[in-house]
Amino acid sequence: MAVMTVVRVATYNVYLGADLTLIFGAASPEHLIERAGLVHRQLLGTDFPARAESIARLVARERIDVLGLQEVARWSRAPITADRVPGEAQVWCDFLDELLAALDRSGTPYDAYAANASFRGGAAISATEQMSVLGFNVTLVRRGSGVVVTGSATGEFRARVEIPTGMPELVLTVPRSWGSVDLAAGDQRFRFVNTHTEAYDAPVRDAQRDELLQVVGPDGPPVVVVGDFNAGPDEVGMPATFQDAWAVVGDGGPGHTCGQAADLANLDSRLGERIDYVWVRGAGIDACRVVGDTESDRTTAARLWPSDHACVLADIRLG
């Protein structure tokens, strides 16, 4: 006889650390260097190593079993030689390494699965140095939770946006992606899918959602789809077979998940949109909460918010 199992799942966009839209308005190569330098300084100010400690504290406190992360960035720098050719890039801040180490220190270790690159880019930040970023979606599974990974897959959406800049010769192409993990909890099986769909073009975002639904398929084992969908509840467009965990059992209030300042230093919370979701098909939903949005979640020294997003967690019932 199958035994009912409750698994705590969550989604958290941990914020790549800087406002990349600063790049979009660059009107010349010199202006691009200036704007990229602003991104670099903002990134230093948002201090991911300190934020990783706050995020790890939150994740450990909530005993999340399976966690979908977005904007897990890997920042690199490379020297620019006298003939203007970038040298070998060196990683100087890897968000995944920082967060996994912080979780280990918290006494609640996690393992990473289905890491998939979701965006990439680079620009000179001075005449002698270039900076680049790779952003990932990653699924973490708590070690010792009893949840076992039995398979995984990743993919990149065919639909993607091209963003013009102030320089006609520079058009930014933004790939987006998804990761899927097959899981067993006791004798129950389910699939966990993590994604981050397009922010700057609604038709492309909707096309990516439809591609994701093709990957998930219309039937099969219970499915949890999480992520930053960059769309409000009236726009996201998931089919009726999926339940929005917050809409079903949210613990009150608007459930806002996005909107802290780019420097994360705003005194009062600016969360004002609900664009991060836990969608469930074929399983029960016992509880859903937004966390990471209170004063106690901020970093210890600089009092930064842990991300420009909050974390949405839900307890799902299998069996």
Query: Which CATH number goes with the domain that contains 306?
Result: 3.60.10.10
CB-based burial label for 28 (10 Å; 0-12, 13-18, 19+): exposed
The pLDDT value given to residue 297: 96
Structure tokens at 122: 């680079």
pTM over 0.75: yes
Mean pLDDT, the chain, rounded, equals 92
Least Cα distance to 313 among 142, 144, 166 occurs for 142
Res. 166 pLDDT band, cuts 50 70 90: low
Domain assignment of residue 118, given as a range: 5-318
Average pLDDT over residues 120-147: 89
Average pLDDT over residues 142-152: 97
The pLDDT value given to residue 174: 80
Interval 211-249: pLDDT, tens = 999 999 998 899 999 999 999 999 999 999 999 999 999
pLDDT of 165 strictly over 90: no
User: Please, what is the angle between helix 48-62 and helix 95-106, to 10°?
Assistant: 50
Domain count, the chain: 1
Contact 69, 140 (CB under 8 A): yes
CB-based burial label for 240 (10 Å; 0-12, 13-18, 19+): exposed
pLDDT of 173 strictly over 90: no
Interval 268-308: pLDDT, tens = 999 999 999 999 999 999 999 999 999 999 999 999 999 99
